Amino acid sequence: MVPPRQILISDLLRARIRDGLGQDLGVGHQIWMHPPCHRLLGWSSRPSAFGPHRMVWRLDQLLQLEEGEALVEGDPCDSEQSTLDLLPTLLDAALLGRGERTLGRLVDGVVNRANGRIEYYLVARSDPRLPGSSRWRLEPDRLIDQQPGQVQAALEELDDLPLDRASIRQQVLRRSRQWREQVPDSVDGLEDRLRSWGQRLWDGGEDLIERWREDDLPPQPERRDSRPRDRTRDWDDEPDGDPWI
């Protein structure tokens, strides 16, 4: 949620302009800025879908911006689209990093309503019209060069910038990157623990084998003859005579 003292350029351009009487004055169409100072001076609206006629508004004419409507005061300045095309802007400019490698585009910005200063730009890697695309914050102080249609900063990757809004894809990539960074440590720790357990088991097994070798075999239990005795032989050993006498 953007604070009340700040506005998004994209919200300003999407809003339908109305005056104090509620008259529809068209939809925001193009911003009017001063790139060297990174200030938003105003914006233009298109009163009809056809024709080159445009209305230019100063930023201090904006009274309220909410729910897709911009309430303005005063009269606009009439202009033509061919004239507005000559105005310099950094919006939609390509962002170049080190080695002049294209990292993304400036697709939006957060503006201070009090003085029109752009506090930071929003950079997108993919087409900003795609829903859920990521946005990175880029402060104007980090720009080292600006030319028509492109700006340059001392950046290696967009990840060097603070992330303002992450898409689902970006969240998955960040979580997978964190998981990959944590997995090697976990695997190394598990490998060390398994190696320690295996060594302890091996040492314990060798000690047990040595004790078995050193101890004498236990004595064999005496086996008893389980064969039945010949009782007739006992009778034969007795002396002759009548046993009842």
In which band, very low, low, confident or very high, does the pLDDT at 153 lie, cut at 50, 70 and 90? very high
Domain 94-168 bears CATH identifier 2.40.30.10: no
**Got the DSSP string for 110-147?**
EEETTT-BEEEEEEESS-TTSTT--EEEE-GGGEEEEE
What pLDDT does 42 receive?
A: 95
Instruction: List pLDDT tens digits, range 57-94.
Output: 999 999 999 888 999 999 999 999 999 999 999 999 99
What is the CB neighbour count within 10 angstroms for residue 218? Answer: 6
- Domain boundaries of the chain, sorted by first residue: 6-84, 94-168
What pLDDT does 188 receive?
A: 57
Instruction: List pLDDT tens digits, range 115-134.
Output: 999 999 999 987 666 666 78
CATH of 6-84, one of 3.80.30.20, 1.10.10.10, 2.30.30.240, 2.40.50.840: 2.30.30.240
Least confident interval from 41-55, 134-148, 188-202: 188-202
Q: Reply yes or no on whether the pLDDT at 235 is more than 50.
A: no
- Say if 6-84 and 94-168 have the same CATH topology: yes
Phi, psi of 96, deg, nearest 5? -105, 140
Q: Reply yes or no on whether the pLDDT at 237 is more than 60.
A: no
Q: Reply yes or no on whether the pLDDT at 242 is more than 60.
A: no
